[in-house]
Amino acid sequence: MPLKHCTVLVLHDPANIRYIAGAVVDAHGDVVHAEDIGEALKRLDRFTFDAAVIAASKCDEALVGELEAQGVPFILYGMPKPGEARSANGAPVVTDPSRIVSTLAMLLA
């Protein structure tokens, strides 16, 4: 139960949200989903998060800044869009979906 009682913000596309949310819930965590950056920023104002999983293709400076300001550790999941290099101040980048929960657990340890 590596994520017991943890609330995780997930900003990802519908194709991956089911798997990510399922993995977090299976690890006894709670999920709050956002469909875009604006919604993610609103959720950050409304809820307290222990961690976040952000689609590499949707990550931006405003979101990273807010996560850091609130002290929310996060991972980037997936590959950025072609031609875009994404770096988020050393956040782990996970491309294997089976590593999402273990990486979150490591950040929260």
Domains, the chain, with CATH or none: 7-108 (3.40.50.2300)
CA-to-CA dists, residue 93 to 45, 75, 76, 82, 104, angstroms: 25, 6, 5, 16, 11
Closest by CA position to 34, among listed 25, 72, 46: 46
Quote the pTM value: 0.90
Q: What is the pLDDT of residues 34-73, one digit of tens each?
A: 999 999 999 999 999 999 999 988 888 899 999 999 999 9
Q: What is the pLDDT of residues 76-106, one digit of tens each?
A: 998 765 655 555 667 888 988 899 999 999 9
